[in-house]
Amino acid sequence: MLSSPSESRGAEGGTGYDLAVIGAGPAGLAAVVAAADRGLRCVLLDAGSGLGGQYYRHPDPALRAARPDRLHHHWSTFTALAARLAEHQKVGQVDVLVRHHVFLLEPEAATGHPWRLHTTATAKSGAATTVRLDARAVLLATGAYERQLPFPGWTLPGVVTAGGAQAMLKAGLVLPGRRVVVAGSGPLLLAVAASLTAAGATVPALLEAAGYLGYARRPGALAAVPGKLVEGVTHGAALTRHAVRPRTGHAVVAVHGTDRVRAVTVARLDRDWRPLPGTERRIACDALAVGHGLVPQLELATELGAATRTVPDGTLALRVDARQRTTVPGLWAAGETCGVGGAELALAEGELAASAIAGQAPPAALLARRRRLRAFAELMASVHRPGPGWTEWLSPDTEVCRCEEVPAARIAEAVQELGAGDARTVKLLTRAGMGWCQGRMCGPAVACLAGADGAAPDRRPFSCPVRLGDLAELPPS
């Protein structure tokens, strides 16, 4: 495994890789193994410390967990892929670079390799931390992060993202509290509530803002993916054992506490997610795990001008063709970057991309599987699309941008008095989205408050904050 710049191959005028895969989750793992099987020399990069991405996130080996599978569905799929990857690593077919975040993807035709990747270390700060790599093809498998909709009190310690609670549990075997309310929208909530209760937390309420009826309106798409039903039933059974019953059409509309969460207020919503007056109820808890679906992580591609499409849940995903090609030559995408659809779809897309990059015709069975799972993903997205009424649970002093501490009133002022009509103008006027996270937490909410029709792709030169010292090391280009 590569660990320092001096060990890097394919960089600085070296031979270069046939394929660089960015992201070691289900899509990236499936792709790199399939590409190596077909004889391509590959490098696999990930910002995290291990393989698996968010879905297969698991305890560090030092925690010596004998049953990491208890926190996962289909754990054997991951172990099989990891074993095949290890074989390829052993013979030098694949290099793996973890704890490295690709912050810039540069077209670099001059070297004979279309791509130069610039990475920065995500480990403790030390001396030189940037690595540069060349590759003929790049596959973007950077996954997604959670969509957050703000509400009064959501910045209090003890409020965590649903995926974050899941990630900290899977990787560090810790819980944010003993009584954890789970709220928001999307199937992830069921998985989170099931793992939290299995790990010993009490979940006094599991609140889904949307209804589940939307699924029933498209029985065809549901029946085509029996695996998804089984997953839902498994979570359902685990939750029933702990007397947790999901309540649809409900949301947390306020969090209470001074320095940490003590309770939440829950309200029933109308069809548009508007809280219904008089339905409020207070629930004591010491943590809240909240999320409203997932947002594909696309910065590296949109910066290069890759075309996007709007998914039925209102998020943007990369536009890819039948072979997972983006509209940028030499740049491919698989998994959640093409629209959130779960691990099974990501695995299929990763493998499809690899076969196409290796110049082979796509296997028909794989194409069929992708079509079926993609159809289900689009249905799921339409069911959980946030209703426009959620903005009514904001109060003027609710912080919308966590990093820059911009309250809803300041955004309303930018829109109503200063005429801002999109997220970018709001950002310039209020600094919302200009902080450390670069709008990852507040972006969807700000766009909605600005009344923008559909999201506009983010274009930013770097995909994550980079130290000036690291930039200074880059050779002039």
Partner 1 sequence: MRPPRPRPRTPAALAAATPGPAHTFEFDGRVIPALPGQSIAAALWAQGILAWRTTRVGGRPRGAFCGIGACYDCLATVNGHPNQRTCLLPAEPGDSVTTQEGHGRAELAV
Q: Contact residues for partner 1 (CB under 8 A)?
A: 47-49, 54, 59-68, 70-71, 122-125, 145-146, 155, 157-161, 163-169, 171-176, 197-200, 259-260, 287, 402-405, 435-437, 440-441, 465, 467-469
Is the Cα dihedral 31, 37, 42, 43 positive or negative? positive
Q: What is the dihedral of CA 448, 452, 453, 458, to 10 degrees?
A: -90
Residue whose CB is less far from partner 1, 114 or 163: 163
290, β-bridge pairs: 161, 183
Q: What is the closest distance, in whole angstroms, from the C-beta atom of residue 39 to partner 1 in the complex?
A: 34
Could you tell me if 209 and 386 are in contact, meaning their C-beta atoms sit under 8 angstroms apart? yes
- Least separation in angstroms between residue 414's CB and partner 1 is 17
Alpha-carbon distance of 278 to 268, in angstroms, equals: 9
Q: How far is the CB of 214 from partner 1 (least distance, A)?
A: 27
Please list the alpha-helical segments (H only) found in 102-212: 162-172, 188-198
CB of 196 to partner 1, least distance (A): 9
Q: What's the rounded Cα separation, in Å, for the pair 305 and 326? A: 10
Assigned token pair, 34: 């399939």
- CA–CA separation, 101 vs 130, rounded Å? 9
Shortest spacing between CB 396 and partner 1, in angstroms? 15
Residue recorded with tokens 């969460």: 261
Q: How far is the CB of 248 from partner 1 (least distance, A)?
A: 25
- Quick one: 99 or 228, whose CB is closer to partner 1? 99
Q: Cα separations (Å) of 370 from 61, 229, 342, 363?
A: 33, 17, 11, 11
Nearer to partner 1, 361 or 468 (CB): 468
Nearer to partner 1 by C-beta: 388 or 465? 465
- Name residues whose C-beta falls within 8 Å of residue 357's C-beta, 6 or more positions apart in sequence: 18, 19, 35, 40, 137, 139, 332
Give min distance, CB of 177 to partner 1, in A. Answer: 8
Pairing of strands 144-146, 159-161: unpaired
Based on CB atoms, which residue is closest to partner 1, 152 or 435? 435
Q: From the CB of 271, what's the least distance to partner 1, in Å?
A: 30
Identity of the residue, 10 or 296, whose beta carbon is nearer to partner 1 in the bound complex: 296
Instruction: Tell which residue, 289, 272, 89, 284, has the closest CA to residue 207.
Output: 289
**In terms of CB distance, is 90 or 124 closer to partner 1?**
124
Alpha-carbon span 393 to 382, nearest angstrom: 22
Residue number with CB closer to partner 1 (35 or 403): 403
